[in-house]
Amino acid sequence: MKIKLIADKDYTIGEVSPRLFGSFIEHLGRAVYGGVYEPGHPTADDQGFRQDVLALVKELGVPIVRYPGGNFVSGYHWQDGTGPRSLRPRRQELAWNSIETNEVGIDEFQEWARRAGSEVMMAVNLGTGTAMEARDLVEYCNFPGGTALSDMRRANGFEKPFGIRTWCLGNEMDGPWQMGHRTAEEYGRIACEAAKLMKSADPEIELIACGSSSSSMPTFGEWETTVLKNCYEQVDYLSLHSYYGNRSDNSAEFLACSKDMDQFITDVSAICDAVKATRHSQKTMYLSFDEWNVWFHSNEQDKKVEKWTVAPPLLEDIYTFEDALVAGCLLITLLKHCDRVKIACLAQLVNVIAPIMTETGGRAWAQTIFHPFRDASRFARGTALNCRLDCPTYDGGVYGETPCVEAAAVVSGDELTVLAVNRSLTEDGELDLDLRGFGTPELMEHRQLWHADLKAVNTAEKPENVAPSAGDGRTLRRHSWNVLRYKLK
């Protein structure tokens, strides 16, 4: 199969925001307890954070981490997780039917993120919480001192304000499963009022309003329009969420699912621009794709998990090699929309639908999806190019006619990186790269993720079963993820 990719120096999409490589940690299952935090673990540091996990998070390269939920946040009262641990309440956690000990809260997570080299993207409770409670959290985190709430933070050991820049106004408020689920009008109103209060506590913060939980929600479209009509001038981003799964065991179709993400972004951008036009606004609404991933492997086993326990093994998807290819296609799709999508979060980071898995008390390892994410976060920083791709197409089932290859190119200084997934299950591709105006490219590295078995997984015993190796600089093997790095002369 011939694959022609033309990238011209003068045709760009935009700057890739480093925050496109964000992730997410929710108080859910073993993400926090037994994941990032486990005081008795042999690698635990002075604060009880697992250093084996921290090392993998740093290797992955995650500049921003959304916290503390997710569905969890809609029942969370942040003051439960501050102050002396012995006084913190144990509570029934109603999003995931578990027990929350509150051993880890805002303060500990801020410290964990600092150690991981990430900034925190904080979500507030607009389900069962109030706009004032959300405002109070901004004051607690970001006000220097001399008020009751900022002095409470200082008394808790954090003299300097956290300076948390990015805040989510609730989570998936369009979903009937959400505690405090609202209509679009109701949510738009509380988002507007919370935004005003939060920005008066700290005018430097930026805010994300909830868009739809997926493009298949019955309220999709109408929800975005109504919410934005209520809070367009008060917020800075609108969120999108999407999860994919190979439920009918049709790999060719599954590999085409990034077409759905592409259409979702295009549609939400159009809705934002329509609201902008009707308001005669000068402001462009940017997008925060703050939950995306593959999620389906654990659906059945989760039905059997015992309720009301601490840190039960929930949403522990074991990712296959084909899931990594899908993650690669989704990352490329985000890069192709980097002019509009300024924040994205792989949901989630540790144990819960995650690139990093742990044994409580034991080992930590990288799942298959770790590899394309790490490669993109490390090598796809810079300016995304508006490439032209010529390649054969195939029948992507519900996703329609689909190009056999998904690809993007990013330039940074004298380095150019091509990221490509060959979706064909049968044919290798030969890459003909035409880098117009870039001079002579010299190949520095061709990283390739390939396995003969689409269902291959990584485990604690075999953590390198699916891992990158060197390609020949030209061949995009059938069903493979590729990163080709060039020096420009």
Q: Give me the residues that bind ligand AHR (CB under 6 A), please.
A: 26, 69-71, 171-172, 213, 291, 347-348
CB-CB contact of 198 with 207 (8 Å): yes
291 labelled catalytic: yes
Q: Which is nearer to ligand AHR, 346 or 483 (CB)?
A: 346
Shortest Cβ 443–ligand AHR spacing (Å): 38
CA distances from 102 to 17, 49, 80, 122 (A): 33, 15, 6, 17
Residue 231 DSSP SS3: helix
Shortest Cβ 467–ligand AHR spacing (Å): 26
Bridge partner list, 287: 238, 341
Q: Which of 483, 329, 328, 394 is nearest to 1 (CA)?
A: 394
* CB-closest chain residue to ligand AHR: 70
Q: Which is nearer to ligand AHR, 69 or 75 (CB)?
A: 69
Shortest Cβ 464–ligand AHR spacing (Å): 27
Q: Which is nearer to ligand AHR, 353 or 418 (CB)?
A: 353
Out of 172, 316, 322, 406, which one is annotated catalytic?
Answer: 172
Q: Which is nearer to ligand AHR, 262 or 291 (CB)?
A: 291
475 Cβ neighbours under 8 A, 6+ residues apart: 428, 429, 430, 431
Residue 300 DSSP SS3: helix
Preceding omega of 79 cis (within 30 degrees of 0): no
DSSP state of 306: P
Q: Which is nearer to ligand AHR, 93 or 139 (CB)?
A: 93
Q: Which of 284, 285, 352 is nearest to 318 (CA)?
A: 352
Out of 253, 291, 316, 406, which one is annotated catalytic?
Answer: 291
Shortest Cβ 72–ligand AHR spacing (Å): 6
139 labelled catalytic: no
Whether the CA torsion 379, 383, 387, 392 is positive or negative: it is positive
Shortest Cβ 78–ligand AHR spacing (Å): 17
Catalytic residue IDs: 172, 291
